[in-house]
Amino acid sequence: MRPTLLIAAALFCAGLLPATAAQRIVVVELFTSQSCSSCPPAEALIGRLARETPGERGDVLPLAFHVTYWNHLNWRDPFALPAASTRQEAYAARFGGPTYTPQAVINGRIGLVGSDEVGLRAAIARVQETGPGIPVTLGRDGERVVAQIGAGTGAGTDGARVLLIGYDPSHTTRVLRGENAGRTIEQINIVRSLQDLGRWSGMAATFTSTRPEGASAALLLQAVDGRILGAARLAAAPAGTVQEAVR
């Protein structure tokens, strides 16, 4: 199913700034921590993915979920989010495996080691071959965001959830203790908040919310079985990326 011109026109008439559309956005969730010495290569990989130009078959949206369970190693990750740990635990239950870092989950369907570039790119290509997902757009309306979900049928459309994610495009952190002591790490698309906007019934629908914590935002339409049926992101913030040194 392709996005309709009616959705784009409605956003324009409402004075919104629609997210950049592509044939499909493949979501790569990286579960990571600043206290994990194996994580920087995975973070560098999703950084490369974030900077690549969208291809003919779609775009890639990397999101870094910083888990909390590494915080006991003498360094507290300032971006650790309890919702990140909960989300990874839900994937572990579906995949039948343990939680670990760095772990990448592609479109809620495939889990693998986050630094495995060959495997990660192959998984992205597999998702892209399935064709377009449910049409989803995300736009700004002042201090609010507006999500438009198109209609769809088939597996996963009954009870799918509309998830609003706030994230920061980039932070640079000087880690003083723990496994990465002495390293300066640049991390991209760091998830700062995760909000469930409600249930999608398969019919075209609109959801609104206050702007989430984070410099930018993304929207995920996720089926009960974990598959991501559609995704969108806001256009880049005019101020550019956020850089910060934690001491």
Percentage of the residues of the chain whose pLDDT score is greater than 70: 83
Determine whether 203 is exposed, middle or buried from the number of CB atoms within 10 Å of its CB (0-12, 13-18, 19+): exposed
- CA–CA dist 207, 103 (Å, integer): 30
Query: Residue 222 in contact with residue 229, Cβ under 8 Å?
Result: yes
Assess whether pLDDT exceeds 60 at residue 167.
yes
Report helix, strand or coil for 150: coil
| pLDDT (mean) for 11-30 | 58
Query: What does the pLDDT read at residue 34?
Result: 95
Query: Residue 245 in contact with residue 174, Cβ under 8 Å?
Result: yes
Taking only the tens place, the pLDDT of each residue in 56-109 is 667 999 999 999 999 987 889 999 999 999 999 999 999 998 999 999 999 999
Quickly state the pLDDT bin for 23 (edges 50, 70, 90): low
Assess whether pLDDT exceeds 50 at residue 14.
no
Report helix, strand or coil for 11: helix
Strands 136-141 and 184-200: unpaired
Quickly state the pLDDT bin for 131 (edges 50, 70, 90): confident
pTM metric for this prediction: 0.85
- Torsion, CA 62, CA 192, CA 157, CA 88, rounded to 10: 80
